[in-house]
Structure formats: C-alpha cells, structure tokens
Structure 1
Amino acid sequence: MKHGKKYRAAAEKYDLTKKYSVDSACNMVKDMKVASFDETVEAHISLKLDKSASVRDTLVFPNQFRGEKKVLVFCHEDRVKEALDAGAAYAGSDEYIEKVKGGWLDFDVAVATPDMMKDVGRLGMVLGRKGLMPNPKTGTVTTDITNAINELKKGRTEYRADKGGVIHIAVGKSSMDAAKVAENVNVLLAEVAKKSPNGVTAGFIQSVSLSSTMGPGVWVDMKEGE
C-alpha cells in the first residue's frame, strides 16, 4: 500500500520495527498523528484461538472519549416508561421492530428484554450486519433495563475477536492525554487476558499494536506490562 508524504514523515520519526511499552506507544501514536481531524486511537490485539473458539465481552474504559450513546430498548408497553426514565432514547416493541425492518437505524446500541427476543431475533439480517443485535453475553439482553442503560451511558463498550482471532477496538482520541489512553489500553489488555478459553493466559495474547486512524502502527512489548 502506497502512503502519502505526511504518513511517511510520521513513520520516519521512530523505529517501528521495535516494540515499546504501552506508555511509550501511546505517546508515539499521538506524536505521529497525520490527519487534521481528531483521530481515533485504535488497538489491534491478535489472540491465539482455536477455530471453534471466540472471545466477546464488554468493558467500561476509565477514560471516556465518545459522545453519549442513543439507546433503543425493545420491551413491552409496561416497561417503556422505565426505559425512557433510565435514559433510553427510544423504547417500545412492534413499532420499533417495524421501523428497523424498514432500515431505520438511528441509534447506537440496542437492548432487549428476554421476552422480546423471539421477535427481535427476526431482525438478525439488519441488526447483526451492523453489530447491533442484543446479546446476553454483552448485557444487552436483560430484565434489568435500568442497570443496562446506566452501564451503556457510562461508556460500556463491546469488543470481540474477528474470524482471524484479532480484536480491533477504539481506545481513545489523539487529542487525549497519552497517559489516559495508556490507562484505557492497560485495562483492555487486562480484561482480554482473562478470556482465554482454556484458562491458560501465557501466549494467549500474541501481539498488540496501536495506531491512530490515519497514522502508522506501533508494536507493544507485552513484557513491559508484566
């Protein structure tokens, strides 16, 4: 892939064949910012996973960097007021199922009560493609609507490994203090390390790199965090 002058100039600032501590990597990514907009800092975590295994969970970063999420709650009429009072942008059943079927997706995350999943499951082709399908593993299929919304408002974020066993997730913004981005990265790595399907953490995280949206990637030395 051919990169522009700004990218090449940024990449020449450091030896990007080496690995660096999380703190150093975050400072480097911030320093190598290329675009004029506030770039997102992303972590790319390669895991040692069997083909049949998967990793999917949520966490709340200590330092938030995203705007407030619009939450849609699929629930029956008797729980609509509870959902709206808790901070949901939208709440209801059939009317929102029909809207989503028609392509409406003006929300960031969907929550559903268990008794709604039979109907919500029919939206798999729409919600699944966008990563918006409620799931018990991520706390978005629940009877405790209020707690689920509160957690999402705090910035609860889902992460998952793709088919290649790699987690791609935003961990901050280039405008943030590098130490705060580093704190987010360390919390993420600690959480992911606990998700080894066979319980063996040694070698589970094979490699970690950080980059801004448009900038070069920096390899993280996992031994620095031990």
Structure 2
Amino acid sequence: MQRSKRYKDSAKELDLEKKYSLDEALLIIKKTSTVKFDASVEAHVKLGINPKQSDQVMRTAVTLPHGTGKKLKIAAFVTSTKEKEAKEAGAELVGGKELVTQIKGSGKLNFDIAVAEPAIMRELAIIAKILGQKGKMPSPKTGTVSPNVAKVIKEIAGGKIDVKTDDQGNVHQIIGKVSYDSAKLKKNFETLLDAIKQAKPAGAKSEYIKGISISSSMGPGIKVSL
C-alpha cells in the first residue's frame, strides 16, 4: 500500500513495533497529527474471535462520556403521532411509510444511523436489505428499536454508539477528536474497552483481546500495551 508523505513523516516520530502506554500514545497522536482539520482519534481492538461463528459474535452499545466529536445524521422511522417529538429530539429525517417508499425508490441512505418504533418495523421489511447492507437496520439488540424514540435519539446525539466487529473480528471506533484533551480521550477509550470486555461472547477464545492500537485520521497506528 502506498503511504502519503504526511503518514511517513508521522511514522518517523515513533517506533511502530513498540507498545506504548495509553498516555504516551495519546501524546504522540497530538504531536504527530498534521492534517489541516480536527482529526478523529480512532481505537482499533483485535479480538480473538471468529465472527462467522454464532457463539463468537460481539456486538454491544455504550455511551462515550465525552462523545465522538462527530455529529450524526439520525433517521427516525415512526408513526405520525411520534414525528414531532422525533424532530424535536434531533432526528433530521423523520417519517413512516413515505420515508420507506422514498428509500426504496432511490436506494440512498442519507443518514448515519436509524431508529424506529416497534409499530413501524413491519414497514421496514421492504428496505431491510438496503439498510442491512450498510449496517443501518434498526434493531432491539442495539437499542435502536424502542417505543420511546425521542429518548433513543437523545442518547445517540449524546454519544451512544453501536460497537461491533468487522469480518476479521476487529473493532474500529472513533473515540474523539485530536482537539480533545488527553483525559477525555482516555476516559472514552477506557469506557469503550470496558464495554467490549463485558460483551465477551460465550465462544470467545481464552485470549479475548489480542491487540490494541490507536491512530488519528490518516495517521499511523500506535500499539498500546494491554
């Protein structure tokens, strides 16, 4: 893979094979982030699981105390009586059958996350494949299906995130911005890691957490000691 000059310059500042303490790693990220925007800080956690096995699936939800620094565009699939409160809570796209029809016709998902009322879930069946392919299907497992959609919307806006692995059993999650002070980034990271530990699936191997690294947007991964 071809690396950018900015990436290579950042990598010169650290030993890519060394494992740093979390405090050291956060300081390095702040020192080496050279992009012209407020870069995100990402945590990468390698788990000793095979997500293709049903007893080794790790998925949970947690509220990061200081949020991710990213404003999410929320869609709310609700009945007409709940539309007003969903909008007031912060959802940008709100609707029922008409919103489903719109998505079915365009195939476009102009939002980051979706929530839904149980009463509207049957209507989502016709776009379940579209939503599912992008990981945006509301689900009771992640708390995005609820009769109290306004509460769920406020929680998401306040930093609640859905935590899951990729096909290789790795978690990739934004934990804040480079502009956050280190204490806030550390607290968010620790909250995320605790949630992953508590969600350890029954079929997980004895070595559940195999490796951790953190990085900034477009920056090199910094290994963190467990």
* Whole-Å separation in 1 of the counterparts to 2:100 and 2:146: 18
TM-score under structure 2 normalisation?
0.89
Q: Which residue of 62, 70, 83 corresponds with 2:65?
A: 62
- Relative to structure 1, the CA distance from residue 122 to residue 18 in structure 2 (aligned partners, 3 Å threshold; closer, same or farther) is same
143-152 vs 63-72, which moves further:
63-72
Q: What does residue range 22-171 of structure 1 map to in structure 2 within 5 Å?
A: 22-50=22-50, 51-52=52-53, 53-101=56-104, 102-171=106-175
136-145 vs 173-182, which moves further:
173-182
* Whole-Å separation in 1 of the counterparts to 2:90 and 2:209: 36
* Whole-Å separation in 2 of the counterparts to 1:85 and 1:16: 47
Between the aligned residues of both structures, percent identity stands at 36
* Whole-Å separation in 1 of the counterparts to 2:92 and 2:4: 41
* Whole-Å separation in 1 of the counterparts to 2:34 and 2:205: 35
Q: Secondary structure at the match of 1:115?
A: helix
How far is 1:26 from its partner?
1.3
* Whole-Å separation in 2 of the counterparts to 1:105 and 1:163: 22
- Could you say what the CA RMSD is over the residues aligned between the two structures, in angstroms? 2.0
98-107 vs 135-144, which moves further:
98-107
Aligned residues: 222
- Relative to structure 1, the CA distance from residue 9 to residue 81 in structure 2 (aligned partners, 3 Å threshold; closer, same or farther) is closer
1:186 and 2:190 matched? yes
Task: Name the structure 2 match of 1:2.
Answer: 2
- Which ranges of structure 2 fall in alignment gaps of 5 or more residues? none
Q: Secondary structure at the match of 1:131?
A: coil
How far is 1:199 from its partner?
8.3
- Which ranges of structure 1 fall in alignment gaps of 5 or more residues? none
* Whole-Å separation in 1 of the counterparts to 2:119 and 2:158: 26
* Whole-Å separation in 1 of the counterparts to 2:114 and 2:96: 12
